[in-house]
């Protein structure tokens, strides 16, 4: 994945169905810990709510972490329709929470699915969605005499040079999209006859 869609700002919306009130909040959140912290804050603020349902999609080393919670609503009636809105918008690093105050009239599973999905979609419409590019930083160390070969590899792969310096050897720090990192490292090795070393910057 070289790019991803997420939120640049928060969004919120309200919906009333058969006297039940639904309050939706969508927030950018980069880690599961950050998500848990925001969930705890919402639960404290709306401690008197009947249900606090949520869903999130968050990037991790192993892939995208996904979770949806019905929080006491009938199975599949709250968390999944909230999650479906995040997936439809292809968003990651996003938390969506819907707070419900029961109005005394049961909506049924279908009614709940529609309400939770609609209020989440409305909150997303109020937020600002952006696409962010991903980059991998690599450090190149090489003998001065293979500098031209290193520059050829950098140019061929469109790597972005962050820093370059020369002393007893050359050292450059560059960034490339994740999908091109291995090919770039292989190209540097080939161009320089394996005289350059490439390592990922942590």
| Interval 111-165: pLDDT, tens | 999 999 999 999 999 999 999 999 999 999 999 999 999 999 999 999 999 999 9
Q: The CATH number of the domain where 151 resides is what?
A: 3.30.70.240
Q: The CATH number of the domain where 103 resides is what?
A: 3.30.230.30
- Does 27 score more than 80 pLDDT? yes
Instruction: Judge if 47 and 122 occupy the same domain.
Output: yes
- Residues 79 and 121: their CA atoms lie apart, in Å, by 13
- Does 89 score more than 80 pLDDT? yes
Q: Is the dihedral of CA 103, 108, 110, 112 positive or negative?
A: positive
Which of 109, 132, 155 is the endpoint of a domain? 132
Residues contacting 68, CB < 8 A, separation 6+ = 54, 55, 79, 80, 82, 83
User: SS3 for 187?
Assistant: helix
* Domain count of the fold of the chain: 2
- Does 32 score more than 80 pLDDT? yes
- Residue from 26, 31, 28 nearest 42 by CA: 26
């Amino acid at each position: 994945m070289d790019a991803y869609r997420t939120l640049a700002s928060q969004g919120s919306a309200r919906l009333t169905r058969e006297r039940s009130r639904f309050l939706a909040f969508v927030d950018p959140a980069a880690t599961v810990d950050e998500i848990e912290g925001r969930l705890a804050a919402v639960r404290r603020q709306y401690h008197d709510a009947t249900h606090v349902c949520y869903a999130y999609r968050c990037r991790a080393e192993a892939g995208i972490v996904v979770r949806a919670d019905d929080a006491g609503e009938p199975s599949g009636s709250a968390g999944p329709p909230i999650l479906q809105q995040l997936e439809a918008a292809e968003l990651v690093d996003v938390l969506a929470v819907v707070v419900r105050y029961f109005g005394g009239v049961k909506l049924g599973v279908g009614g709940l699915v529609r309400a939770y999905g609609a209020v989440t979609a409305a909150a997303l419409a109020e937020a600002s969605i952006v696409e962010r590019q991903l980059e991998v930083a690599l450090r190149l160390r090489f003998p001065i005499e293979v500098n031209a070969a290193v520059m050829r590899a950098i140019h061929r792969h469109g790597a972005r040079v962050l820093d370059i310096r020369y002393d007893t050897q050359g050292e450059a720090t560059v960034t490339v999209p994740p999908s091109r990192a291995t090919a770039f490292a292989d190209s540097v090795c080939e161009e320089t006859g394996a005289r350059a070393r490439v390592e990922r910057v942590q």
